[in-house]
Chains A and B, each alone.
Chain A
Amino acid sequence: MLNSRQLTLEQAGKFFFRLLFWVPVVFFSLLLVRNTIPYYNFSQSFSFIEERALLFAKPVYYWSFYLHIGAGMFCITASLVQFSTYILKRRRKIHIWSGKIYVFVVLLIGAPTGLYMSFFAKGSFWERALFMFMAIFWFLTTWWGLKTIKEKNVLAHKIWMIRSYAMAMTAVTFRIYHIVFYVLDWNHLKNYEISLWISVLGNMLIAEYFIYKQSKRYLKTFTI
């Protein structure tokens, strides 16, 4: 049995670690959104577009790209408020509406355009396969998240949405790893490939860790 001082210390520690996790997440998410906005002047002078000039000549790829980055912006911004317990308990409508935006954007825009673009992604066959897996996994986890909440299964909804969010966040973590390896002076293509694998697998592992913790806490409530 913990006394009140120990409890306060424990709570303060938890709050600190939450802050340590969420401050960089919010910062880098907003940075990604900010860096995406310039693409909407439809200029061809970005290195990403210049490198793929052949693909951007195709209208389907061209519009897929712009829809995909727009969807990414919306889904990352919408998902930032989804994990707040304050909003979930006191402003449930915000949670519901941003959730609807997230689901709509992922299922109808983000995942399909991502899947199409994955066929032409940079890297070897395995990197393309990874992009395809990401798009399908993102679609399925979001779909399962929606299905479970419709069935009023809140715990399963949380679990599937954590997995879906982990996939959405690969866009952010990939860039962080990419910058870190760039500073370490790694070869560009090697850096790209390794950053991609680490971001996808790393995010999945982190998501599973959070799910494990969530389930453990949930199971604790049944103990007498």
Chain B
Amino acid sequence: MKFYLLAGGLLITAASVYGITDYIKTKNKKEFQKMYKETAVTLQENVQLRDVKEEDFSRGKPESFTPPKEETKPAVAKKSSKSKKKQLVQSLRKLKWFPCLQK
């Protein structure tokens, strides 16, 4: 407990002494005086419609760019030429295990 009192007390004293001397050193600096100053935000004059100049088309209007439409066909999944059942029968025929299936 004595350690806390001694070390803490010493640190608090050092902080206050160093803080005062450091503050005296820096308080006259212009940068420090300006540091926390807030510049008031001034509203700009209201922009009215007449202030906005119309676009100059003296050299002709720019052509509007429209991307060419690409003809794309909707992707359609290819139908398998043979149905699954037929494929199965064919593969069994190849094996020649089932004579009833032979033509």
Contacts and interface: CB of A to CB of B under 8 A. Distances in A.
Interface of A: 51-52, 54-55, 58, 60, 103-104, 107-108, 111-113, 115-120, 122-123, 135-136, 139, 143, 146-147, 150, 188-189
A113 B23 CA distance: 14
Interface in B1-60: 1, 4-5, 7-8, 11-12, 14-16, 18-20, 22-23, 26, 29, 31-32, 35-36, 38
11 contacts: A55-B35, A60-B18, A60-B22, A104-B4, A107-B4, A111-B8, A112-B14, A113-B15, A116-B19, A120-B26, A139-B12
- Leading 10 A-B pairs by shortest Cβ distance: A107-B8, A112-B11, A119-B19, A116-B15, A119-B23, A112-B15, A115-B15, A116-B19, A54-B31, A122-B36
A116 B18 contact: yes
A115 B19 contact: yes
A103 B38 CA distance: 38
A111 B12 contact: yes
A112 B11 CA distance: 6
A150 B20 CA distance: 34
B1 A54 contact: no
A108 B8 contact: yes
Contacts of A122: 36
Interface of B: 1, 4-5, 7-8, 11-12, 14-16, 18-20, 22-23, 26, 29, 31-32, 35-36, 38
Residue among A54, A116, A122 facing the most chain B CB atoms (10 A cut-off): A116
A58 B12 CA distance: 19
A112 B29 contact: no
B56 to A, nearest CB: 42
A153 B95 CA distance: 97
B32 to A, nearest CB: 6
Contacts of B16: 115-116
A52 B7 CA distance: 29
B26 A146 contact: no
A107 B1 contact: no
A117 B1 CA distance: 26
Contacts of A103: 4
B15 A143 contact: no
